[in-house]
Amino acid sequence: MPRGTNRRAPAAIALACLTALVMACEDDLAPLFEIAGTGDVEGLVFFDVMEDGVFDPAAGDEPIAGVGVAVQDRGTGNTFAGGTASTGADGRFEITGLPAGTHDLLIDTLTVPAEVSICQNPLQVTVNLNETRFSLVRGRNGCLITMLAAKQLPLGEFAIVRGIVTSRPGQVEAGWTYLQDETGGARAFGGLDGLGIEIGDQVEIGGATGQFNNDFEFGGVVFRGLVEDVGAPAPTLTTTAELTASGTAYTHPLQGRLIRVEKAQLTAAFGAGGANEQNGIINDGSGATTIRVDDGVAPRNMLNTLLSVGTCYDIVGFGANFAGAGQIFPRSLADIVEVPCT
């Protein structure tokens, strides 16, 4: 070939041809494959008496009829076409023709009996192609909530709470047990005696919300479970003024919680000025509040001998109130330690 002829190498020519071919055809590319088919969901809605997640009629579990269910696109609230059903007399439902994926199984709580609670709603359900997925939906007699949430319920409502025991049954007063979680504390009245419950145990109870002279408590207590020796919480450091301010509302985080005040001086004798003989006045310099020493702690006729006006104490006890006036309830005389005032 004469010099100066523009001759491309065979490899360069092949690359140019391949590039042209791809550019000419890229708008016509089709997907390699498409997912075809659907899956189904079947399930059972039942009242779980033993709360063990197993449907066992011999244990008293009962199917719940007439409950509306829906399968929704996860997190959107959009129900799939044909994605609703209602449980039959046997508590069972079936929804077919659902797209593959993880979806929300939503229970219409308005169709659930008033005495039954669905504590996880919606549930997640994964649909596989050409398969049927089975889901158990458990109803309970109540859902576990926080102490603070329980205090915000109307009085007389049944609530289930779990907390760490901060005073054993009867330690402060006959029938009283204090427990707290991360949101606050409360007193349980009755139902826990004779079970070997100690400070630092974790207890689950059910009970009706109530109050006695504005001091919150759970009544009609039903014992539901115990985990021993979880560990006692440290008392929350506060002031006598903050304790007084908290007494106006039993929903305040200090109410029912294990607390500590430091260098609180006893400024008035127990029973002085017409006060109850179990009540004295203390002040850490921030403002006065009441110390209430109940029968389980010390005999009332010995309080003015055991504790002296003008003396300062570090005190551990429970935030409480009487008719809106803040108080501290020590658990024992060991919770009241004499310290220098300066």
Written as one letter, the residue type at 171 is: Q
Fold entry, domain 147-227:
OB fold (Dihydrolipoamide Acetyltransferase, E2P) (2.40.50)
With H, G, I as helix, E, B as strand and everything else as coil, classify residue 13.
Answer: helix
Q: Which of 132, 79, 73 is nearest to 103 (CA)?
A: 73
Cis before 122? omega within 30: yes
State the pTM of this model: 0.74
3-class DSSP state of 310: coil
What pLDDT score does 141 carry?
A: 87
pLDDT at residue number 28: 55
pLDDT at 56 over 70: yes
**Which CATH architecture is the domain 39-139 placed in?**
Sandwich (2.60)
pLDDT at 7 over 50: no
Evaluate if residue 143 carries a pLDDT over 60.
yes
The closest alpha carbon to 169, from 205, 120, 115, belongs to 205
- Please check whether the domain covering 236-339 is classified as CATH 1.10.260.40: no
Average pLDDT, the chain: 91
> Domain segments of the chain: what residues?
39-139, 147-227, 236-339
Cα separation, 323 vs 281, whole angstroms: 16
Confidence of residue 29 (pLDDT cuts 50, 70, 90): low
Query: What whole-number distance in Å separates Cα of residue 5 and Cα of residue 7?
Result: 6
